[in-house]
Amino acid sequence: MALLRKPVEIRTALSLTPLIDVVFLLLLFFMLASVFHREGEIEIAARGTSTQAQPVTQPLFVRVHADGRYDVNGEPVAAGEIGSSIAAMLAASADLSGVVLQIRKGTSTQIVVDSLTRLREADVSPVSLAK
């Protein structure tokens, strides 16, 4: 009977072209969609909005200029030593605790982040921002 006849087997070499197509598509997707830098997060607080209890001591006011200069109590301090000098000032005086960064108009976020990072490296806390 015709139905019992075995189908003719055609042996062909497995074609790699569709596989390559798909792999190329995947490669293209991951090349375009990937990012290699990683995100970090730094906590920021604005002055007067802190949830912590208001301390009885005074904070140290540091003015941050738009070009990255710093004034501590009206005297310029080099950017490289801002962390260590502020840490020394806070350690020297028991009346001072914490730092308020007064951000001048036109100061970019990059400079704000640099300032926060420098103070964090010097273990100065709490740091808040003000205009």
Partner 1 sequence: MQLQQPKRPARQHSQLPLINIVFLMLIFFLLAGTIAPAYELNVSPPSSQQKASDNRHGSTVYVSKDGQVSFRDGLMEVTDLGSTVALRSPRAPDNLRIAADQETDGQLLIDVVAQLRGAGVKRVYLVTRQGEP
Give residues in contact with partner 1 (CB under 8 A): 16-17, 19-20, 23-24, 26-27, 30-31, 33-46, 49, 51, 64, 103, 105-114, 116-117, 120, 129-131
From the CB of residue 64, how many other CB atoms can be counted at a distance below 10 Å?
A: 21
* Strand pairing class (70-72; 58-64): antiparallel
- CA separation for the pair 71, 82 (Å, rounded): 9
Q: Shortest Cβ distance from residue 6 to partner 1 (Å)? A: 32
Q: Shortest Cβ distance from residue 50 to partner 1 (Å)? A: 8
Q: Shortest Cβ distance from residue 94 to partner 1 (Å)? A: 28
98 neighbors 55 (Cβ within 8 angstroms): yes
By beta-carbon proximity to partner 1, the closer residue of 64 and 86 is: 64
By beta-carbon proximity to partner 1, the closer residue of 103 and 122 is: 103
With CA atoms as reference, report the closest residue to 50 among 131, 128, 106, 123: 128
By beta-carbon proximity to partner 1, the closer residue of 19 and 91 is: 19
The total number of residues shown for the chain amounts to 131
The pair of three-digit structure tokens given for residue 33, joined into one six-digit string = 């969609």
Q: Shortest Cβ distance from residue 71 to partner 1 (Å)? A: 15
